[in-house]
Every structure is written in structure tokens, then in C-alpha cells.
């Protein structure tokens, strides 16, 4: 197993074991008004993060939880490692086997950022943080940022099952109870609506590209190519095709025990569009429609979500 996957699985296993011993109300803590899982993040790590020095070669995958981060993360990692096989000038941190860190920027111990300085470029880094809570160097040094968005109804549905499956997150007795927490932003990672609003402000930045879960689902080959172009990575058609095939939901689910350990079964759930129809009642549909219209319909990312196509009954 690749070393970075082992570290990933070990950290998750430890976090889940610690969470099993905790009371529900202690599972999350608040930092700058946003909730985070106690077993994975800490105020000390957030403080240390301020001094993180980004590089222009870094690739930051940013998005709200449950938008498909693990999916696009695998595509990114595969593109970056394959490009490095083609071109000796193109290196990446995934080959620094002993050094590789848990991929989420905000997860881990405060010394993590010093260790990350030793990693080769390119570093592929995931984050669920709002842009204003990211270290300034990411924008100043023009790291490439891939912003991933997914329609709010499928995000809420995915998050509901994930919260109930992962011991590191508080579970909910009913979908209705979860829906209220989601709509009021009392979620690990904060409010979905704030995320879309805030990332919309960066949509025109030259170093930012936005991708939606739904467009990737409709045409993975197109999406993989678009990401490679954005990063200026050179791969042959066959190599691109291998990345496309390896990133189908079925392929990733089949390997999930190896890549994600016990979390694999919880994470690779349905991998589709429209599962929200099994949970949302009429009132909840109306409430989401109204909130989307008021808060997101006129934002840049709000338009890219194609709410009329993916979220209307
Ligand atoms: P569902 O719960 O709707 O199935 P994240 O990685 O940000 O936590 O997002 C998890 C969601 O992405 C889950 O959605 C998961 O099934 C989906 N996903 C993971 N890999 C995928 C793939 N290869 N194709 C489509 N969806 C995928």
C-alpha cells in the first residue's frame, strides 16, 4: 500500500477510536465561529496554519465537505504522479514516501506545516476551509486552486449519511433534525451557503478553476482533461484514459478498503445525482429553494450549480 494511504488510514482509525470514547456534545469545537471535529483539528493547528508557506506549484483542492473531494483528489494525484513519470522536471510530494502528510491542510498536529516544508513540489493539498480562513500565502503566492462544488440537496443528503456513519461526527436521530442543522450552518466545516458565496468571490481569479460534481459525473473524460490543462500537466491520451477509468465510482469503491480502510464503506455510498429525492419532503424542498434563491442564485458558483436542473422535483 502506498505510504501516504497508510498514514491517511492510521490517522482516521485513531480519530475514530478517540471519538468512540467521547460524548456527542464534545465531538465538535468552534474556531472563528465554525465547527470542526475535535479528534482531527485543534485551535493550535489553526494557529500554526497561519504561517504555512504556500508555493506557486501547489495545487489546492477546496470545497465544502461531501462535494466529491476524495474523488477529485484521486484524479489530481493520479494526474500529477503520471505527469512526473513522463517528465523528470515534474516532481511531486507523493513520491516523498516517508514525509507525506494527511492530505487535508487543516487536519493534524501543529508541527505538520514545518514538516510540509520538506515536501517536494507539487504538493496536492485538500481543504474544507473558507477562503478567508486559508493562509494568505496561498493567494499571495498564486497556488493553483481547484474549487469543487456540488448541488446543496445532494451535499446535505451525503452529509447526513456520513455524519451518521462516522463516529468523529455527531450523528442525528432523524433526517429532519439534520436538515435544520444543515440549513443553519451548524455543520462541521460551517455553512454550505457561506462556502459557495465566499468561493464565488474568487471565481475570476487567474489561479482558480471551478468544477462541479455534476459536470464531472456527466463527462469524466472531459473533466480529467480540463484539470490536466489547468495544471499544465502533459499526459498521453492513453494515460488520461487510465486516470478516467480508475476514477469511476465502481473502481474507487472496489479499492476503498485499501485506499480508505474502514471509512471506505461509509464514504463511497451512492456516488450519484438526485439521491436527495429519497429524503427531502415538500416543506424542505421549498425551504432549500427559497434559501438558494435568496443567497446563491445570483452568485457565480450558484449559477454553475445549475439548481434548476439538479435540484427541482
Ligand atoms: P454520496 O454520499 O452521495 O454517495 P467527499 O469526498 O467530499 O467526502 O464526497 C463524498 C461523496 O462523493 C459521496 O457521495 C461519494 O459517494 C462521492 N464519490 C466518491 N467517489 C466518487 C466517484 N468516483 N464518482 C462519483 N461520486 C463519488
The 10s digit of each residue's pLDDT in 263-302 is 999 999 999 999 999 999 999 999 999 999 999 999 999 9
What whole-number distance in Å separates Cα of residue 220 and Cα of residue 203? 22
Q: Which residue's C-alpha comes closest to atom 14 of ligand 1?
A: 271
What is the model's pLDDT at position 5? 81
Out of 61, 68, 266, give the residue to mutate to test ligand 1, the one with the largest number of ligand atoms within 8 Å of its CB: 68
pLDDT for 97 equals 65
Mean pLDDT of the chain: 95
Q: What b/e string do you get for 225-238 counting C-beta neighbours within 10 Å, with b at 16 or more?
A: bbbbebbebebeee
Atom nearest to 154 CA in ligand 1: 3
pLDDT for the residue 8:
87
pLDDT band at 98 (very low <50, low <70, confident <90, very high): low
pLDDT band, very low/low/confident/very high, at 3 (cuts 50, 70, 90): low
Helices (H), 41-147: 43-49, 69-86, 112-116, 137-140
Query: Nearest CA to 69 among 55, 59, 83?
Result: 59
Q: State the closest ligand 1 atom to the C-alpha of 65, by its place in the atom list counted from 1.
A: 7
Q: pTM of the prediction?
A: 0.97
pLDDT band, residue 87 (cuts 50/70/90) = confident
Measure 158 CA to ligand 1 centroid, in angstroms.
Answer: 8
Least trusted range by pLDDT, from 68-72, 89-93, 210-214, 240-244: 89-93
Please determine, for residue 127, whether its predicted confidence score (pLDDT) is greater than 90: yes
CA–CA dist 138, 163 (Å, integer): 30
Q: What is the pLDDT of residues 10-54, one digit of tens each?
A: 999 999 999 999 999 999 999 999 999 999 999 999 999 999 999
Q: Among the options 4, 128, 195, 260, which is catalytic?
A: 128
DSSP secondary structure string for all residues of 154-197: HHHHHHHHHHHH-TTS---S-HHHHHHHHHTT-SBT--HHHHHH
What confidence score (pLDDT) does residue 261 get? 93
**Which domains does the chain show, CATH number per domain?**
2-151+164-177+205-271 (3.40.50.300)
- Determine if the peptide bond prior to 122 is cis (ω within 30°): yes
Task: State percent of the chain over pLDDT 70.
Answer: 97
4 belongs to the catalytic site: no
Cα–Cα dist 202/147, whole Å: 9
- The CA 196 to ligand 1 mean position distance, Å, reads 18
Q: By the 8 A CB rule, do 83 and 234 touch?
A: yes
Mean pLDDT score, 221-244: 98
Amino acid at each position: 500500500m502506498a505510504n501516504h494511504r497508510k498514514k491517511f488510514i492510521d490517522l482516521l482509525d485513531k480519530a475514530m477510536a478517540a471519538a468512540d470514547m467521547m460524548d456527542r456534545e464534545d465531538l465538535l469545537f468552534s474556531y472563528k465561529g465554525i465547527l470542526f471535529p475535535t479528534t482531527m483539528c485543534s485551535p493550535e493547528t489553526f494557529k500554526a496554519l497561519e504561517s504555512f508557506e504556500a508555493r506557486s506549484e501547489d495545487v489546492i483542492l477546496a470545497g465544502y465537505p461531501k462535494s466529491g473531494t476524495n474523488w477529485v483528489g484521486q484524479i489530481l494525484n493520479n494526474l500529477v504522479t503520471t505527469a512526473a513519470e513522463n517528465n523528470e522536471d515534474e516532481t511531486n510530494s507523493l513520491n516523498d514516501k516517508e514525509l507525506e502528510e494527511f492530505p487535508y491542510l487543516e487536519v493534524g498536529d501543529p508541527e505538520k506545516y514545518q514538516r510540509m516544508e520538506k515536501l517536494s513540489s507539487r504538493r496536492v493539498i485538500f481543504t474544507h476551509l473558507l477562503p478567508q480562513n486559508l493562509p494568505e500565502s496561498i493567494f499571495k503566492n498564486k497556488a493553483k486552486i481547484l474549487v469543487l462544488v456540488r448541488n446543496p440537496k445532494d451535499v446535505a443528503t451525503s452529509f447526513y449519511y456520513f455524519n451518521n456513519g462516522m463516529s468523529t461526527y455527531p450523528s442525528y436521530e432523524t433526517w429532519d433534525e439534520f436538515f435544520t442543522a444543515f440549513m443553519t450552518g451548524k455543520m462541521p466545516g460551517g455553512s454550505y451557503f457561506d462556502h459557495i458565496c465566499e468561493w464565488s468571490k474568487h471565481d475570476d481569479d487567474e489561479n482558480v478553476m471551478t468544477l462541479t460534481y455534476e459536470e464531472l459525473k456527466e463527462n469524466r473524460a472531459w473533466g480529467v482533461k480540463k484539470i490536466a490543462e489547468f495544471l499544465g500537466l502533459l499526459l498521453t491520451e492513453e494515460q488520461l484514459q487510465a486516470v478516467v477509468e480508475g476514477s469511476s465510482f465502481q473502481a474507487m469503491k472496489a479499492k476503498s478498503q485499501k485506499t480508505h480502510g474502514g471509512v471506505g464503506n461509509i464514504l463511497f455510498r451512492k456516488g450519484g445525482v438526485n439521491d436527495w429525492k429519497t429524503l427531502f419532503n415538500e416543506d424542505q424542498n421549498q425551504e432549500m429553494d427559497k434559501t438558494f434563491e435568496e443567497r446563491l442564485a445570483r452568485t457565480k458558483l450558484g449559477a454553475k450549480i445549475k439548481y434548476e436542473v439538479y435540484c427541482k422535483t
